[in-house]
Amino acid sequence: MRRFLIPAFMMLLSGFTTHAQDSVEVRQLDSIRITARARLRDMGVQKTSLDSLELRNDITGSLAQVLTRTSTLFIKHYGRATLSTASFRGTSPSHTQVTWNGMKINSPMLGMVDFSTIPSYFVDKADLYHGPGSVTISSGGLGGAIALSSAIPQQDGISLSFIQGAGSFLTFDEFLHFTVKKPTWSASTRVYFVSSRNDYKYINYRKKHFFYDDQGNVSGYEYPVERNKNGSFMDFHVLQDFYLTGRSNGTWNISAWYARTDRGIPLLNVDYKENAGVANNQKDNTFRATAGWRKISGNSKLEVHTGYTYTDMLYQYDRDLGNGERAIMVHSQSNVHSLSADVEGEWYLKKWMFSADISLNQHFVTSTDKAVISVEGEQSLLGYQQARLEMSAFVAARYRPTERLGLSVSLREDLYGKELTPPIPSFFAEFLVSRKGQVTLKASAARNYRYPTLNDLYFMPGGNPLLKPEEGISFDGGLSAQHQGRLFRWSGNVTGFYSRISNWIAWLPTFKGFWSPVNVKQVKSYGIECRGSLEIIPGHDWEIGGNGNFSWTRSLNLGDPVSWADGAIGKQLVYIPEFSAAFTGRVSWKEWTFTYDWTYYSERYTTSSNMTRTQLGVLGPYFMNDIALEKSIRLNHAVLHVKAIVRNLFNEAYETVLARPMPGINYTLSVGIVPLFR
């Protein structure tokens, strides 16, 4: 209880919103114009922006860990360096649309993004658009959208930084960042490599070792201590950015990102197989590249983007037969080629802003499983090969008749394959209640559609080409305020939301022995999101700050009963916590910084009927506590940063997904160096 009350009290004191505001464009361009455009562009939108302090908090952290600490999203992950997906406001991972430098990176096969494969040090700017606000980024974000991007280096001349981290379970991280900035061009190179044996110990509460007396009767039992088996991983990433200012004041940018991951899939804690008896592994090779041109002149802006993504994913599962031979159970490989193009324009006329955008995405997918054995006992291929064109057109008009009132309407239309979605309208409004404290009311509403993924339609066996698009309607409204004084500043935001999704796509078992997707569910989601920050400067060389968030989410299945005994109707969706919260506090004195991170999730159900009679039906709530201490040391020609992190401070035993144990207390020590030269 003490672990819960103290962080909760500190979070309530801090207010509720994020404090991040991007100012890169404001410094480089006309600040008055850009500020006015930004105010019009985001009118009424519930948006969370993550700053560099939040994105650069931990060298070993992926974007999944950053989102867990700093946002109201629920990150469902299957363990350390395994699949991590985001859920906005009680929706599924495929209802979160993600872009990188303006290009969609959701898998056309699965419809979602694995955030564990995105190093937080590769992201300079992250904007989270909640609910209806996602329509301004892309369609299909029935829960929300996340826009990731790179930024022009801020430091003139040559800059170099290197970080070396070492931690528990033989984990090693290396990050190198080299930048060059000249008056007309700049370049940035980032390299990241991490490897880990990931064989942490845990008490397995899913198994029992029994003790017997001389008569063979059970005299007692104990929970065994086991190691995480088959969980080793290796990730390698390299990102190259290049920016050029043209003669006509247009800005060119090119980004190329290559990632290679080799990850073992850990055995379940209810699995009795030996580690050497199985090989369960996934390898990914991904290449993303974008090229864009932007020009801002007078009262208009024009942007053109093009991009390409290639993904080669191989999943293998084989077992030792005990005679020196291994049986290949699964050899599933998929190749995806995606081409994209986008043209966007904005026109700013005093109190009005008009914008238009048209984008195209062409996907080519080949998915096969080479381990399938035919009836005749011969090896055969099972899978599909498909191509699909996706096109989206968007127009919006924004109007601010007075300083206090802002209104915005937009319309989007999508084409996928030969199917055309109905129009996707949205409406946003905001009203400045008081200039003192910048008290602002915001409200928005939108209709949205998400068309089925290629796996939903064509996966073999089980794909359903007759699926309908998921249709959603969502509303939200909230109040925000902020204040900045000489010794402190704070900001807060409280938002209520409601959404209803029809034709929810769910994969259900069939009498033929495999699963198949059908439109069976209608889901109603509603709740409250709160965010806040507080910063205090009590005296010379001292800074105290904190930010927190809280979320209450009810996500209910309102679909038609499958049978008279269907107990899922009216129940919370699987793995969606009703309550979640996070708090980060910082204390800085001179060159020292102490950080405390606290995360809370309420119980999550593992069955659609919310069964609690057994331990397998529900995962208990948990409170996660991390601390870090950092010291900056200024040398003659460099600055040295030394940081020690302790995770799971109280050695909590917990699971985020059923039968996937998480590590207990663990440590990381990192050393970073930044040479002082230009």
Q: What is the pLDDT of residues 276-308, one digit of tens each?
A: 677 889 999 999 999 999 998 888 999 999 999
Query: To the nearest 5 percent, what fractions of the chain are helix, strand and coil?
Result: 10, 60, 35
> What percent of the chain is predicted at pLDDT more than 70?
91
Confidence (pTM)? 0.91
Specify the higher pLDDT residue, 35 or 453. Answer: 453
Average pLDDT for residues 502-521, to the nearest whole number? 86
CB 482 within 8 A of CB 20: no
Higher pLDDT, 317 or 340: 340
DSSP 68: H
Give every CB contact of residue 381 below 8 A, 6+ residues apart in sequence. 368, 369, 370, 372
Rounded Cα distance between 192 and 174, Å, is: 6
Per-residue pLDDT tens over the stretch 585-636: 999 999 999 999 999 999 999 988 888 777 778 898 989 999 999 999 998 8
Query: What's the CA gap between 59 and 51, in Å, rounded?
Result: 15
Tokens at 365, concatenated: 């997918």
Q: What is the pLDDT of residues 35-85, one digit of tens each?
A: 455 567 889 999 999 988 888 888 888 999 999 999 999 999 888 888 999
Mean pLDDT of 305-319: 94
* Cα separation, 601 vs 608, whole angstroms: 19
The band of 372, judged by pLDDT with boundaries at 50, 70 and 90, is low
| % residues pLDDT > 90 (the chain) | 68
Integer angstrom CA distances of residue 42 from 36, 135, 406: 10, 12, 10
| DSSP line for 476-523 | EEEEEEEEE-SSEEEEEEEEEEEEEEEEEEEEEE-TTSSEEEEEEEEE
Q: Quote the pLDDT of residue 380.
A: 61
Distance set, CA 17 to CA 7, 409, 554 (Å): 16, 25, 21
Write down the pLDDT at residue 163: 95
Judge contact between 114 and 78, C-beta under 8 A. no
Cis link prior to 461 (omega < 30° from 0)? yes
Tell me what the mean pLDDT of segment 317-325 comes to: 80
Contacts of 356 (CB under 8 A, 6+ apart): 344, 345, 393, 394, 395, 396
Confidence of residue 677 (pLDDT cuts 50, 70, 90): low
- Terminal CA-CA length for the chain: 52
Instruction: Report whether pLDDT(373) > 70.
Output: no
Q: What pLDDT sits at residue 306?
A: 97
Task: Give the dihedral sign, CA 82/83/87/90.
Answer: negative
Say what the pLDDT of residue 379 is: 58
Q: What angle do CA 218, 220, 226 make, to 5 degrees?
A: 115
Tokens representing 213? 């007396």
CB atoms within 10 A of CB 560: 9
Q: Average of pLDDT values for 211-222?
A: 90
The tokens of 594 are what?
A: 């102490």
Sign of CA dihedral 113, 119, 120, 125: negative
Stretch 359-363: mean pLDDT? 96
More confident residue, 1 or 582: 582
- Please report, for the domain that includes residue 315, its CATH number: 2.40.170.20
Binned at pLDDT 50, 70 and 90, residue 19 comes out as very low
The answer to whether 325 and 119 are in contact (CB under 8 A) is no
pLDDT higher than 60, residue 412: yes
Region of poorest pLDDT, from 374-388, 475-489, 526-540, 613-627 = 374-388
Average pLDDT of every residue of the chain: 88
pLDDT digit string, tens, across residues 492-511: 999 999 999 999 998 888 87
Q: What pLDDT, on a 0 to 100 scale, did the predictor assign at position 1? A: 38
Least confident of 136-145, 274-283, 578-587, 659-668: 274-283
pLDDT computed for residue 27 by the predictor: 35
How many CB atoms sit inside 10 A of residue 572's CB? Answer: 20
The position carrying tokens 């053109």 is 304
- Is the pLDDT at 205 greater than 80? The verdict is yes
Domain count, the chain: 1
Q: 321: phi > 0 → left, psi -120 to 50 → alpha, else beta; which?
A: alpha
CA–centroid distance for 579 within its chain? 19
Specify the pLDDT at position 588.
95
Residue numbers of the domain that contains 55: 2-675
Local confidence band at 227 (pLDDT 50, 70, 90 cut-offs): very high
